[in-house]
Amino acid sequence: MLTFRIEDFSTKGQVSEQVTPSPAPGEVLVEIHACALNFADLLMLEGRYQDTPPLPFTPGLECAGRVIEVAPDISNFQIGDRVAIFSGKNGLAQYGCFDANRLVRIPDQVPYAEAAASLISYGTSLLALQQAQLKPGETLLVTGAAGGVGLTAVEIGKQLGATVIAQARGAEKLAVAKAAGADHLVDAAEDLRERVKSLGGADVVYDAVGGDTWKAAFRATNPGGRLLPIGFAGGEVPQIPANHLLVKNLTVIGFYLGGLIQHRPELGRQTFDLLMQWLAEGRITPHISHRLPLREVHQGLELLRSRKATGKVVMLPQAEAQP
């Protein structure tokens, strides 16, 4: 089988031939049809992600495919089942063995690519905004709103009844955010603090950028507001002035999907089942800007690194298997 292996953090990995694995107890073997890329994959390549596995390893946090073998102790999945997997690794390959507890069934009408592209981004946004107690009529500010998680925060924020301010860079990305339901658009070249304050301020901030963007969003948050530091795509992890939290009665809510469902796996399963149901009903529609064969994984990662992608980039491992 083909797999994207990381042997050394200085080489950035390569696609190579490996022996197809066999499932251990508690696992299933999946023929992988789609693997969605995430910013975390870039961090893993550099050994900077909080859950980077020991070398060597195959990255790919979320994928989808067809079960082709199950361990003898597995009774809740069978050969032929269509599944999506919040795997944490091993998704960037034609086949992979996964803990059965990390699988969720995909409805027949949901394509593999859309299923793979939904777990982390929609799961993060749904659970994070629930933890922030976003209420109908409140104003939600989403930074990096055309990215993988930002775009889903716009979409789910609207479903929860919020007025959504979307910040992104350039007219093309802002148009994508608008199509997802954003009420107000702010270009990254504008003064974010002043624009948001002119719109009445933000009650909840969903920030995937960090750095100066976080600082501006923090200062545009209304008294009693809640802030979610989701990621640091801008490269700088912000420092939070505790005295400002005190004066404005602000709440900063740390949120990491992987850590949450590790401690509350039942919440993860419920959330992923709900997302598959929403996909089948058309309530959410993942935006996939690029679909590439596995051999072009470096191109896919560069689309994330250079911020040229909108929504998700999805790799298609079985494309190489076609005649």
CATH (domain of 214): 3.40.50.720
**Domain containing 228: what range?**
121-257
User: What is the Cα–Cα distance from 309 to 61, expressed in whole angstroms?
Assistant: 18
Residue 187 has pLDDT above 60, yes or no: yes
Mean pLDDT of 186-207: 97
User: What is the Cα–Cα distance from 279 to 320, expressed in whole angstroms?
Assistant: 27
Residues 141 and 250 in one domain: yes
Specify if 264 maps to a domain: no
323 — pLDDT class (breaks 50, 70, 90) = very low
Residues 108 and 15 in one domain: yes
Instruction: Look over the chain and give the mean of its residue pLDDT values, rounded to a whole number.
Output: 94
What is the domain count for the chain?
2
Specify if 174 maps to a domain: yes
Residues 241 and 306 in one domain: no
For residue 50, what pLDDT is reported?
85
Mean pLDDT of 55-66: 96
- Give the percent of the chain with pLDDT over 70: 99
Residues 75 and 184 in one domain: no
User: What is the Cα–Cα distance from 50 to 44, expressed in whole angstroms?
Assistant: 8
User: What is the Cα–Cα distance from 132 to 190, expressed in whole angstroms?
Assistant: 26
- Give the percent of the chain with pLDDT over 90: 85
For residue 99, what pLDDT is reported?
95
Residues 50 and 139 in one domain: no
User: What is the Cα–Cα distance from 264 to 3, expressed in whole angstroms?
Assistant: 30
Mean pLDDT of 289-304: 96
For residue 216, what pLDDT is reported?
96
Mean pLDDT of 68-96: 97
- The larger pLDDT score, comparing residue 219 to residue 231, is at 219
265 — pLDDT class (breaks 50, 70, 90) = confident
321 — pLDDT class (breaks 50, 70, 90) = low
For residue 211, what pLDDT is reported?
93
Which residue's structure tokens are 């997997």? 85
Residue 126 has pLDDT above 80, yes or no: yes
Query: Of the candidates 319, 323, 297, 322, which has an alpha carbon nearest to the alpha carbon of residue 38?
Result: 297
Q: How many CA atoms lie within 13 A of 124 on its CB side?
A: 28
Mean pLDDT of 149-167: 96
Specify if 216 maps to a domain: yes
For residue 277, what pLDDT is reported?
96
322 — pLDDT class (breaks 50, 70, 90) = very low
CATH assignment of the domain containing 100:
3.90.180.10
- The larger pLDDT score, comparing residue 236 to residue 150, is at 150
Residues 107 and 137 in one domain: no
